[in-house]
Amino acid sequence: GSEASPATASTSARGGRSHDEGDCLYDDEDDEDDCVAPDPLLFVGRWLYGSKPNEYRITREADGQLCFDGPNPAGGRFMGLLVLQPAGNYEADLLAADGTVFGSMRFYATAGKGGEASLVSNFRKAGKQDWGKDSIARRASDEPKPDETTRQGPGPPEV
């Protein structure tokens, strides 16, 4: 099993650490100003993966919560709420229509060729320890890229 490492005493001296260490997304200390969470807007949109391709969506609710909506191979859809993890990725429990947990997905945002964003995801079946292989999804071509205008909040109502 994975055992937690012993906790180390946290000191209040912040002056000793450099802010440009570069390797820190998150750490186990409460220095929130040292590490920056990924921009949730990098995850929002329609994503295509596989050779067919298949599609899933990540939406942002009014309260800022990210929601996954993807295909269930047995029919129907899986839904799940994305939760930010200490490593800087998001994880979601995938719920079938009847509310049963099928498994979990984790998502990492990466910059692909030409700076185009992609999402790397892994699946873990309920009750299992190990994550599956990387699945790389690209933003659907008709999906607008997040930019400064979409960062201001909800856009004008659709007509």
pLDDT at 105: 97
Q: What does the pLDDT look like over 35-91, one tens digit per residue?
A: 567 888 889 999 999 988 899 999 999 999 999 999 988 889 999 999 999 988 999
Q: What angle do CA 77, 41, 142 make, to 5 degrees?
A: 65
Inside any domain, residue 11: no
Inside any domain, residue 114: yes
Whether 159 has a pLDDT exceeding 80, the answer reads no
Least confident of 23-37, 46-60, 125-139: 23-37
Instruction: Assign 32 to helix, strand or coil.
Output: coil
CB 49 within 8 A of CB 136: yes
Whether 133 has a pLDDT exceeding 70, the answer reads yes
Total domains present in the chain:
1
Inside any domain, residue 97: yes
Inside any domain, residue 63: yes
Average pLDDT, the chain: 76
pLDDT more than 70, % of the chain: 65
Whether 31 has a pLDDT exceeding 90, the answer reads no
Burial class (CB in 10 A: 0-12, 13-18, 19+), 126: exposed
| Residue with the larger pLDDT of the pair 24 and 35 | 35
pLDDT at 36: 62
Inside any domain, residue 18: no
Inside any domain, residue 26: no
pLDDT at 39: 87
| DSSP at 30 | S
Inside any domain, residue 23: no
- The CATH number for 89's domain is 2.40.128
Inside any domain, residue 45: yes
Whether 22 has a pLDDT exceeding 60, the answer reads no
Q: Domain range spanning residue 65?
A: 40-141
